[in-house]
Amino acid sequence: MVSNGMTSTTSGPEFAVAIDRARCDGEAKCFRLCPVRVFSLERPAPDLGWVKRAKVVLHGGRLAVVVNPSACIGCMACVEACPDRAVYVFRSDS
């Protein structure tokens, strides 16, 4: 975890995957589309603001987290599918 509002950042052998908590509204398209199960879903922290919590609840009550970044193959399906532009994938070996 880092302090600039980005969470779930961990490097794999070639790619790093991050979810911006400030943007993510819990639509979970990354979780559903990732072919190698990089993401999981978890309940939001208790201190999540009520507006954000309402959006998350509307989408099922869970937020995506990066749990298996070393599996990422860089297909970019998660980045392209996220309506909130909350997912970042970048080369970690350059």
Q: How many CA atoms does the CB half-sphere of 61 hold within 13 Å?
A: 2
Residue 7's CB is within 10 A of a number of other CB atoms, namely 18
Binding-site size for ligand SF4 (CB under 6 A) equals: 14
Q: Which stretch binds ligand SF4 (CB under 6 A): 2-10, 21-29, 48-56, 69-77?
A: 69-77
Give 41 or 48: the residue with its C-beta nearer to ligand SF4: 41
Asked if 75 is part of the footprint of ligand SF4 (rule: CB under 6 A), the reply reads yes
Asked if 36 is part of the footprint of ligand SF4 (rule: CB under 6 A), the reply reads yes
**Tokens describing residue 30:** 């990354």
Give the phi and the psi of residue 61 in degrees, each rounded to 5. Answer: 85, 15
Asked if 73 is part of the footprint of ligand SF4 (rule: CB under 6 A), the reply reads yes
| Helix, strand, coil fractions of the chain, as percent rounded to 5 | 25, 25, 50
Minimal distance in Å, beta carbon 8 to ligand SF4? 11
Which residues lie near ligand SF4 (CB under 6 A)? 17, 33-36, 38, 72-78, 89
